[in-house]
């Protein structure tokens, strides 16, 4: 690794971050004509942009960005996790890919309960038993085999180079590793190289030789390089050492699943989003249809009337989520009813503009039978107008905090996204029921909401975010900011966010999101308000009237838009 290469990487990071700060100040994102990539790390965005400039399409760039994030953004980028993809081709055809993790065959409904039927604290969150069977590699292979243009090895090689040669770690990357050191030491069966390094400082060279070798096996053998062979052997041995239950059969049997995306119309826009086992698409449609009858554009974007309305709609939608959503391969999810205009109107008809409804007064709607915050999202549009929206995750930061020895990647802790016990909230406070109980081979419910909008038959927006339970409402608000309030993409991404999820019964707001007068009005009509530093990290692209692309990376992180 020579010093010139390190200096070049450092300049790339600094130039990207300078561009992002300048864009934020002007409230206009990066504007380019021929392609755009927005992701959580500047080097991953550059890898994707390079692929586009080399003649690759949006799906090629998506594969390259996913693997690059596994190297540069290990807190959420991953090989050992899973996610969802929504795409819209330039000819208007759409599709969705489910590469969500699955429960191992040895998993069972009560695996996180003690003899008295009570949840064992932390068992579904930390350590080997918290992991579901990962889907990210299978998902990328499926995307490439159906839509890819460039050779597979060209898409994986940049990540191998980044892992082996190393790159200067960012301030956020260094801080994340340092905060997790105690967990890494406690939960792993060997001394992690990232721990033996000691305290990380911005600019330190971050090299991952074991991860590079794993990526080489994926480059050379695709799925067989991860779900079979040496990587599978290392994976299963790690499970055995740490008391996990994922087996060779679990790995060999994993397959990503193509699903039909969901869609709705909102003020002339067609909204294309993810189907179950993501709850995001159903919930987003309910939110948009629930608010469409109101004159949102006539409300102040952060005024008491609008915040009250959003909170009331959101609490009803999240009550439905808790009761009715799960893996459609195991449970009859009533998607048609939940997204029906008449049903949604019925759910919203008791909203009182002058009084907050107590969440204890709300139950899931009656149905006729017939989901860290440390997720990551990236949005891509190529020169031909193909668009891909992908949200992927390990669940918590660094997932279960367990790294596979000699393979260099972290395992997820997605088992916590199941209802480990009906009615008991998970780490994000989300409550679930029988629809999302643990079953062998089942995919756990998610809040991930990769979404694409079109207008008059043309591509209009690509949007998504991490944020656990706040993902759905962050995407919802970003769409309202553009469609109803006429904001630029960057302004819409930057704008302060609020969130309500039924339980706990409170409006969660970012610090300084609401002025004191607005907060007073909301509390006077019965709302409780809690603050947090930030909600979500939206990465989005807006197609402007002249056909150019405005990419917006969220300033809440080190998210970066790069186009050409």
DSSP string, 36-52: EEEESSHHHHHHHHHHH
- Cβ(484)–Cβ(296) below 8 Å: yes
Does 24 score more than 50 pLDDT? no
Cα 409 from chain centroid?
Answer: 18
The predicted pLDDT at position 434 comes to 77
**Residue 362 pLDDT grade (very low, low, confident, very high; cuts 50, 70, 90):** confident
Average pLDDT over residues 475-482: 98
Matching residue, tokens 């975010």? 465
Question: Nearest to residue 372, comparing CAs of 421, 323, 414, 327?
Answer: 414
Per the structure block, which two tokens stand in for 113?
């309960």
Looking at residue 419, what is its pLDDT?
A: 84
pLDDT band of residue 559 (cuts 50, 70, 90) is very high
pLDDT of residue 360: 86
Give the contacts of 162 (CB within 8 A, at least 6 positions apart). 43, 47, 68, 71, 72
What is the distance of C-alpha 74 from the center of its chain? Answer: 14
Quote the tokens at residue 321. Answer: 């989520």
Q: Active-site residue 375, yes or no? A: yes
Contact criterion met (CB below 8 Å) for 480 and 501: no
- Spot the catalytic one: 72, 375, 376, 465: 375
Please give the C-alpha separations between residue 481 and each of 111, 437, 465, 516, in angstroms, as whole numbers: 43, 36, 15, 22
CA 431, CA 418: separation in Å to the nearest integer? 10
Answer whether 541's CB lies under 8 Å from 36's CB. yes
| Domain residue ranges of the chain, discontinuous segments joined by + | 66-120+255-404+415-544
**Cβ pair 84, 97 in contact under 8 A:** yes
pLDDT at 371 over 50: no
Strand partners, 560: 39
CB 375 within 8 A of CB 73: no
Strands (DSSP E) found in 15-124: 30-32, 36-39, 82-88, 94-99
Please tell me the CATH code under which domain 66-120+255-404+415-544 is placed.
3.60.20.40
97-118 burial, b at 16+ Cβ within 10 Å, e below that, comes to: bbbbbbbbeebebebbbeeeee
Structure confidence at residue 16 (pLDDT): 47
**Span 416-424, mean pLDDT?**
77
Tokens standing for 147?
Answer: 């839509």
Q: Helices then strands (H, E): number in the chain?
A: 18, 19
Task: List C-alpha distances in Å: 513 to 231, 297, 361.
Answer: 46, 18, 27
How large is the average pLDDT for residues 393-422?
A: 93
User: Residue 6: is its pLDDT beyond 90?
Assistant: no
**Rounded to the nearest 5°, which phi and psi values hold at 539?**
-120, 120
């Amino acid at each position: 690794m020579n010093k010139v290469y390190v200096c070049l990487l450092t300049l790339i990071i600094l130039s990207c971050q300078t561009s992002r700060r300048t864009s934020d100040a002007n409230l206009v994102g990066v504007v380019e004509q021929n392609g755009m990539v927005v992701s959580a790390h500047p080097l991953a965005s550059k890898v994707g942009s390079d692929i586009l400039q080399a003649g690759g399409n949006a799906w090629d760039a998506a594969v390259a960005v996913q693997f690059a994030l596994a190297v540069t953004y290990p807190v959420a980028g991953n090989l050992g996790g899973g996610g969802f993809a929504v795409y819209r081709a330039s000819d208007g055809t759409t599709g969705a890919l489910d590469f969500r993790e699955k429960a191992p065959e040895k998993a069972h409904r009560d695996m996180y309960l003690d003899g008295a039927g009570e949840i064992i604290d932390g068992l579904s969150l930390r350590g080997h038993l918290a992991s579901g069977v990962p889907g990210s590699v299978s998902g990328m292979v499926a995307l490439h085999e159906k839509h890819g243009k460039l050779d597979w090895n060209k898409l994986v090689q940049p990540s191998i180079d980044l892992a082996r040669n190393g790159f200067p770690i960012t301030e956020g990357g260094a801080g994340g590793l340092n905060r997790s050191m105690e967990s890494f030491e406690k939960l792993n069966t060997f001394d992690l190289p990232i721990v033996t390094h000691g305290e990380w400082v911005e600019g330190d060279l971050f090299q991952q030789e074991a991860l590079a070798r794993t990526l080489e096996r994926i480059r050379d053998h695709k799925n067989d390089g991860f779900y079979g062979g040496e990587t599978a052997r290392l994976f299963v041995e790690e499970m055995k050492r740490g008391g996990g239950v994922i087996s060779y059969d679990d790995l060999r049997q994993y397959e990503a699943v193509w699903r039909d995306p969901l869609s709705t119309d909102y003020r002339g826009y067609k909204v294309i989003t993810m189907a179950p086992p993501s709850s995001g698409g159903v919930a987003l449609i309910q939110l948009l249809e629930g608010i469409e009858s109101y004159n949102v554009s006539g409300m102040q974007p952060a005024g008491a009337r609008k915040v009250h309305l959003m909170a009331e709609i959101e609490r009803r939608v999240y009550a439905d989520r808790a009761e009715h959503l799960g893996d459609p391969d195991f449970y009859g999810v009533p998607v048609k009813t939940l997204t029906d205009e008449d049903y949604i109107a019925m759910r919203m008809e008791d909203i009182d503009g002058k009084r907050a409804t107590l969440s204890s007064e709300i139950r899931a709607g009656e149905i006729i039978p017939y989901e860290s915050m440390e997720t990551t999202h990236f949005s891509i549009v190529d020169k031909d107008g193909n668009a891909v929206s992908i949200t992927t995750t390990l669940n918590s930061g660094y997932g279960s905090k367990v790294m596979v020895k000699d393979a260099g990647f972290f395992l997820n802790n997605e088992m916590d996204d199941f209802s480990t016990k009906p009615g008991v909230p998970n780490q994000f406070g989300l409550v679930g029921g029988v629809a999302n109980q643990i079953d062998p081979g089942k995919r756990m419910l998610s809040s991930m909401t990769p979404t694409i909008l079109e207008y008059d038959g043309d591509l209009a927006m690509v949007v998504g975010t991490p944020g656990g339970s706040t993902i759905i409402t962050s995407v919802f608000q970003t769409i309202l900011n553009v469609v109803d309030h006429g904001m630029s993409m960057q302004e819409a991404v930057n704008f302060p966010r609020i969130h309500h999820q039924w339980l706990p019964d409170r409006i969660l707001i970012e610090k300084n999101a609401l002025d004191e007068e607005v907060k007073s009005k909301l509390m006077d009509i019965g709302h409780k308000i809690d603050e947090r530093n930030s909600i979500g990290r939206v990465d989005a692209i807006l197609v402007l009237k002249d056909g150019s692309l405005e990419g917006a990376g969220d300033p809440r992180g080190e998210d970066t838009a790069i186009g050409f």
